[in-house]
Amino acid sequence: MTDLFSNPNSIKEKIKELCTLINNITDIDEKIDMLNYVRAELHEVSPLKHHPVDFVAWEKSSNVEGNDYNPNSVAPPEMALLITSIEEDGYTMPIVGNPEEDVIRIVDGFHRRQSERKSSKISKSTYGRLPVSFIRENHRELDDRMASTIRHNRARGSHDIDLMSNIVKELIQLGRKETWIKKHIGMDTDEILRLKQLTGIASLFADNEFSPSWEVENGEST
């Protein structure tokens, strides 16, 4: 390790040379794109590459779009506070995205993206970019992304009950069993059943996995 950093041809010297080259790029967008490229290349040789946060790219805001299933909602006062937080403290958490053909689809961080679009101060400070980490490649199917979005929301203690019921509905229609939903979303059988009931679709009750706590007495569940 000592020889590596004392050798004039070492990685340390090459990094200094690389920083000089990047610093000489005058166009901001070109400079950011080059930094994204360098970070991506370093990420490929990182022993921590299996963690998405190991690589955070500054992507153009216009290329980052929300999804149509996010069950998390933020009230206006909290939204205003989030904007103030980013204006004062900067982005401290990246948006989690899924790279698609011509867009990056948000898995988590929709309101952090909205903050940049609502605040000219934030947008100016990021040159119209957003910090994005990318969901693991083996979790990019729709059902896995939906489960990931819910896990992020529930870990923060926030989700909208109506949208959650629609999530359960869609996961079941995608063929996911209750055992999968319980494992990947952190719900118990009774909670899933209550959300099914909110959808009002009887077909969702086919092959239902009832827990022992649900019994039928005189035509009513207890």
Three-state SS letters, the chain: CHHHHHCCCCHHHHHHHHHHHHHCCCCHHHHHHHHHHHHHHHHHCCCCCCCHHHCCEEEEHHHEECCCCCCCCCCHHHHHHHHHHHHHHCCCCCEEEEECCCCEEEEECHHHHHHHHHCHHHHHHCCCEEEEEECCHHHCCHHHHHHHHHHHHHHCCCCCHHHHHHHHHHHHHCCCCHHHHHHHHCCCHHHHHHHHHHHCCHHHHCCCCCCCCCCEECCEEC
Token readout for 24 is 């000489």
pLDDT at 219 over 50: no
Cα separation, 219 vs 17, in Å, equals: 77
pLDDT digits (tens, 9 = 90+) for 136-145: 988 888 888 8
Cα separation, 87 vs 125, in Å, equals: 9
pLDDT at 216 over 50: no
Tell which residue, 139, 117, 140, has the closest CA to residue 130: 117
Q: In terms of CATH architecture, what is 51-138?
A: Alpha-Beta Complex (3.90)
Residue 44 has a pLDDT of: 96
Instruction: Read off the pLDDT band of 3 (50, 70, 90).
Output: low
pLDDT digits (tens, 9 = 90+) for 110-131: 999 999 999 999 999 999 999 9
As a whole-number percent, the residues of the chain with pLDDT over 90 amount to: 45
Domain ranges of the chain: 1-45, 51-138
pLDDT digits (tens, 9 = 90+) for 57-75: 999 999 999 988 765 677 7
- The residue-averaged pLDDT of 177-192 equals 74
User: Which residue is associated with the tokens 């009832």?
Assistant: 210
Adjacent-strand bridge partners of 130: 59
Residue 212 has a pLDDT of: 41
pLDDT digits (tens, 9 = 90+) for 21-67: 999 999 999 999 999 999 999 999 999 999 999 999 999 999 999 98
Residue 71 has a pLDDT of: 57
Adjacent-strand bridge partners of 132: 57, 95
